[in-house]
Structure 1
Amino acid sequence: MGSTDVNRRDLIKRAAAAGLIAAPALGALSACASGGGDNDSKVAKGEKTKDNPLGVNKDAELDFVIFDGGFGTQYGKDAAKIYEKNYGKVKLTATQKIRSLLQPRMVGGNPPDLVDNSGAEEMDAASLIDKGQLTELSPLLDAPSVDDPGTPVRDTLLPGTIEMGQYGDEKVWRLNYAYTVYGQWYSKKLLADNGWEYPRTWDEMLALCAKAKKKGIAGWTYAGQHPYYIPFTLYPFIGKIGGPEVIRSIDNLEPNAWKHDAVKSAFEAYHELAAKGYILKGTPGLDHIQSQTQWTKGKCLFIPNGSWVENEAADTTPADFDMAVGPVTGLDGSDKMPFGTLWAQAGEPFIVPAQAKNPAGAMEFLRIMLSKQSAQNFSRLVKSLSCVAGATDGMEMSPGLASANQALKDAGDNVLNPRIFDWYPTLHREQIGSVVAELMAGRMKPAEAMDKCQEYADKTAKDDSVKKYKHA
């Protein structure tokens, strides 16, 4: 998002209104771009050597567009300085309007070399791939890593990173750089000051919310204007209750996937938060920043979010807040997965357009970003994990980052990786998002919500214009 997507970044979209036009805008882009422009303007290839394994033209400029969101842009600027020591100048453009800025360039056959494809205006990667608009990244993954020439880049990445760049086959179309841990974010200090324990079961969650309510503290808040934040905890809650196969069935658009008992239990649990008045008043009208601010002010206990939140909410977070992420609270002892189960995955996708003039330079830039030096710098700057395994070892970490790192270690193999959010972004963001918004606001009963989610999923499954994907 995060993130994100969630995504973040990607996990992370910033405006529902912008999301509503994402699919048609991208469709028009892809239809035009697939036949526009040419490759005659590509720069000449450089000589491949031990120090230049991708054969970068050392005199060619690199055109890089970076998303200026929760992670900022400094980490990209720092990587650019390293790149420029051995290669050409980097033209770095920062924006929050990825699609608005790049659509004319993609249609005109003159895209940047490297794009941090994130934010509310993230381009639909599935559509770009389907229309042949992205460069496949195997040359980057097979290249020697910066830190150990005997180890290919692909072997330095955290589990799931490569899979997040795959869409139905073994080819890798994007590199998701941030490693986001999603969950119930909270203040350790707030719980400790009141002698409260982190809830492991839903009965414990309701009991804790009741205690907090007596002290004028709400149990939960969330980004009501962007309800696709709610699945940051809802999806892993469903998976914890019913097992990873339930998440896979939802991702695969299987008939009656949303009718599973695990979905029913999760929807009933979340509906109970609203029914008992445990959600911060006014939450449905809050955006992501406003909800985070209410949370950092101590107005509520929990917020569903990704690990980018520590950096994004830094301006309003008290010095002694002691921010932490907790794994999803389970239902009860019948859950199929243990306490500690997380949704964690690589986000913040970087892509190399197929018509980029300097694709080798773009992949070399990513190779530099995947060095431990750049990965540590990223984590230090933005308080988030990168996709580089072991990059934070021995590093002093902020509270939220340390918590995310520990939660990931504690989860072990119990890490869920939903794909509905990036395989079918319209379904996830606009349709499922609208349903859970109504559920959490107490305006829709669980049974109706299940029916509506299944109706939307079935429509997507039957829509021949939407490319379909399946878990292996």
Structure 2
Amino acid sequence: MGTEVNRRDLIKRSAAAGALALPAMGALSSCATGGGNDSEKVEKGEKSAKNPLEVNEKAGLSVVIFNGGYGDEYATDAHKVYERSFGKVKHERTQKIRTRMQPLLVKGNPPDVINNSGAEQMDVASLISKDQVADLTPLLDAPSLDDPDKKVRDTLLPGTIEKGQFGGEEVYHFNYSYTVYGTWYSKPALEKLEVEYPKTWDEMLAVCAKAKKEGIAGWTYAGKHPYYFAFTLYPFIAKIGGPDVIKAIDNLEPNAWRHDAVKKAFEAYHELYAKGYVLKGTPGIDHIQSQTQWNKGRALFLPNGSWVENETKKTTPKEFGMAVAPSTGLDKSDAMPFETIWAEASEPFMVPAQAKNVQGGMEWLRVMLGKESAQNFTKLVSALTCVKGAADGMDLMPGLTAANGMHKAAGENIIVPRLPDWHIELHKDRIGGAIATMMAGDISPAEAVKQCQQHADRAAKADGADKYKHA
């Protein structure tokens, strides 16, 4: 019991000292402690082999889904599976997760499951410090839906559980999708230029130069959401300098951003701008607009995650030949091989601690981790899940086939940066903003490095001694 208190206290001290929450979020969270009324919670059901989490079979359930790249049909399909054994599910979809959900958390009347994703993703570390998020360990220790002899935790891909931990053994975020990040492109587009995907930066510049002569930009990206650049930039930094560079950045170590690998990576990406290889107007467009321009063949390369195939299905031509490859390396001096990628469990779900039906929320997630729902998710949205082997034998779309092959080729050369979830505002707004300004040509790579380090140093001071760290 003492260990549990110490872990929770550590999280509270860390987040309270952090001061990294978005202004609107901070104002709302500050009065959230103590909200909610336990008497409003539904009574537990009777525990059985079919109901290991003691769900009240007559109680309703409320689920809120982020309506982004994955849509929400996979969730409504899971509702039907849940309702075979339990109560009706009230469904809501929105892109305004923070705007819609934060007030409900403050009032102590949140839904039972929240898909905490998207541009308005809530800072889960701050919510944990306010005792607003349920520990999902009971779910992980419950028998899996398809094989009662296996616990849920034993059916998950490596790294899934760790991704939801914040300073202890408790798991507060459950990341359902298994996302592979990389540089997306059209196979026919490269074939038309008579080039192969570039493995070194000199080759990348040569391909972009050839495309420019044909009136095609080398790159486009989500200028309004510059953290998308991290999907290729972070693994690029790791390739150049090794995985410890990323760990130092995650740990907010002094001078981590001043590492030579970061400087080289920034200089390389800035060269795309300097040579005119970035699609005109890119700094002012969002992810949907950049993807649409890419689908129209106006740019060769796009930094993104494996949700992009589903998100662009309305604009992708039938003969587009979507594919993905690891970040292009720098040269033969790289510390890690070309096959190195960033891949991880993503698309986080949480069960609010003050929810009326916490047991039902966990059971809904258990349903999602069953083979039926996992395969349905992959079929509907062209994305892998965190469930081991769920996609085996399935007929995958071209982009997902490429992503799956890239993941297998990486082997153990997979990095999982934690800055995006340990320090969400720093990652998205501060670091992302400095990179965006550099890519727009407004500051030099050296100035971008300087700004990134300054932002990280301020975050480190705010976090104090209890900030999250790699061991």
Q: TM-score, normalised by structure 1?
A: 0.94
Q: Which residue of 1 aligns with 2:37?
A: 38
1:105 Cα deviation from its structure 2 partner: 1.5
Summarize the Cα distance change of 1:291–1:130 in structure 2 as closer, same or farther, 3 Å threshold: same
SS at match of 1:186: strand
Cα distance between partner residues in 2 of 1:25 and 1:352: 22
1:467 Cα deviation from its structure 2 partner: 6.5
Does the CA-based 8 Å contact 1:238-1:247 persist in structure 2?
A: yes
Cα distance between partner residues in 1 of 2:420 and 2:188: 33
Share of identical aligned residues, percent?
65
Q: Which residue of 2 aligns with 1:429?
A: 428
Q: Which residue of 2 aligns with 1:103?
A: 102
Flag structure 2 segments of 5+ consecutive residues without an equivalent. Answer: 1-19
1:413 Cα deviation from its structure 2 partner: 0.6
Q: Which has the larger displacement, 433-442 or 22-31? A: 22-31
Q: Which residue of 1 aligns with 2:182?
A: 183
**Aligned pair 1:277/2:276, yes or no?**
yes
SS at match of 2:160: coil
Q: Which residue of 1 aligns with 2:169?
A: 170
2:400 corresponds to which letter in structure 1? L
Q: Which residue of 1 aligns with 2:361?
A: 362
Q: Which residue of 2 aligns with 1:142?
A: 141
Cα distance between partner residues in 2 of 1:225 and 1:256: 27
1:73 Cα deviation from its structure 2 partner: 0.6
Cα distance between partner residues in 1 of 2:465 and 2:283: 30
Q: Which residue of 2 aligns with 1:374?
A: 373
Does the CA-based 8 Å contact 1:22-1:121 persist in structure 2?
A: no
Q: Which residue of 1 aligns with 2:157?
A: 158
1:426 Cα deviation from its structure 2 partner: 1.1
1:160 Cα deviation from its structure 2 partner: 1.2
Cα distance between partner residues in 2 of 1:446 and 1:311: 34
**Aligned pair 1:396/2:395, yes or no?**
yes
**Aligned pair 1:67/2:80, yes or no?**
no
Does the CA-based 8 Å contact 1:180-1:345 persist in structure 2?
A: yes
* CA offset digits 1:45-76 (Å, max 9, x no partner): 11111111111110110111111111111000
1:94 Cα deviation from its structure 2 partner: 1.2
Residues 51-130 of structure 1: matches in 2 within 5 Å?
51-130=50-129
Cα distance between partner residues in 2 of 1:69 and 1:362: 21
Q: Which residue of 2 aligns with 1:408?
A: 407
2:259 corresponds to which letter in structure 1? H
Cα distance between partner residues in 2 of 1:380 and 1:428: 31
Cα distance between partner residues in 1 of 2:64 and 2:33: 21
1:119 corresponds to which letter in structure 2? G
Q: Which residue of 2 aligns with 1:316?
A: 315
Residues 327-346 of structure 1: matches in 2 within 5 Å?
327-346=326-345
Cα distance between partner residues in 1 of 2:224 and 2:25: 23
* CA offset digits 1:304-345 (Å, max 9, x no partner): 111111111111110011111110100011111101111111
Cα distance between partner residues in 1 of 2:103 and 2:457: 34
1:27 Cα deviation from its structure 2 partner: 2.1
Q: Which residue of 2 aligns with 1:448?
A: 447
Does the CA-based 8 Å contact 1:67-1:73 persist in structure 2?
A: yes
Flag structure 1 segments of 5+ consecutive residues without an equivalent. Answer: 1-20
1:346 Cα deviation from its structure 2 partner: 1.1
* CA offset digits 1:364-390 (Å, max 9, x no partner): 100010011111100110111111111
Does the CA-based 8 Å contact 2:193-2:210 persist in structure 1?
A: no
Does the CA-based 8 Å contact 1:29-1:103 persist in structure 2?
A: yes
Cα distance between partner residues in 1 of 2:312 and 2:466: 36
Cα distance between partner residues in 2 of 1:415 and 1:177: 18
Cα distance between partner residues in 2 of 1:95 and 1:421: 22
SS at match of 1:33: coil
Q: Which residue of 2 aligns with 1:220?
A: 219
1:402 Cα deviation from its structure 2 partner: 0.8
1:30 Cα deviation from its structure 2 partner: 2.5
Cα distance between partner residues in 2 of 1:318 and 1:192: 16
Cα distance between partner residues in 1 of 2:267 and 2:238: 15
* CA offset digits 1:219-275 (Å, max 9, x no partner): 111111111111111111001111110000000000000010100110110011111
* CA offset digits 1:409-462 (Å, max 9, x no partner): 111111110011111111111111111012112221111111111011001111
Q: Which residue of 2 aligns with 1:18?
A: none
**Aligned pair 1:293/2:292, yes or no?**
yes
Q: Which residue of 2 aligns with 1:235?
A: 234
1:93 Cα deviation from its structure 2 partner: 1.1
Does the CA-based 8 Å contact 1:26-1:127 persist in structure 2?
A: no
Cα distance between partner residues in 2 of 1:75 and 1:210: 42
* CA offset digits 1:129-168 (Å, max 9, x no partner): 1111100000000111111111111111111111110112
Cα distance between partner residues in 2 of 1:467 and 1:386: 32
Summarize the Cα distance change of 1:227–1:67 in structure 2 as closer, same or farther, 3 Å threshold: same
SS at match of 1:315: coil
1:193 corresponds to which letter in structure 2? K
1:190 corresponds to which letter in structure 2? A
1:464 Cα deviation from its structure 2 partner: 4.6
* CA offset digits 1:76-113 (Å, max 9, x no partner): 00000000010011111111111222222211111111
Q: Which residue of 2 aligns with 1:253?
A: 252
Cα distance between partner residues in 1 of 2:312 and 2:465: 36
1:403 corresponds to which letter in structure 2? A
Cα distance between partner residues in 1 of 2:115 and 2:21: 17
1:347 Cα deviation from its structure 2 partner: 1.1
Does the CA-based 8 Å contact 1:46-1:56 persist in structure 2?
A: yes
Q: Which residue of 1 aligns with 2:9?
A: none
2:170 corresponds to which letter in structure 1? K
Does the CA-based 8 Å contact 1:60-1:88 persist in structure 2?
A: yes
Q: Which has the larger displacement, 32-41 or 69-78? A: 32-41
Cα distance between partner residues in 1 of 2:384 and 2:463: 38
Q: Which residue of 1 aligns with 2:351?
A: 352
Does the CA-based 8 Å contact 1:182-1:307 persist in structure 2?
A: yes
Does the CA-based 8 Å contact 1:460-1:466 persist in structure 2?
A: no
1:466 Cα deviation from its structure 2 partner: 11
Does the CA-based 8 Å contact 2:21-2:126 persist in structure 1?
A: no
Q: Which residue of 2 aligns with 1:470?
A: 469
Cα distance between partner residues in 2 of 1:214 and 1:193: 13
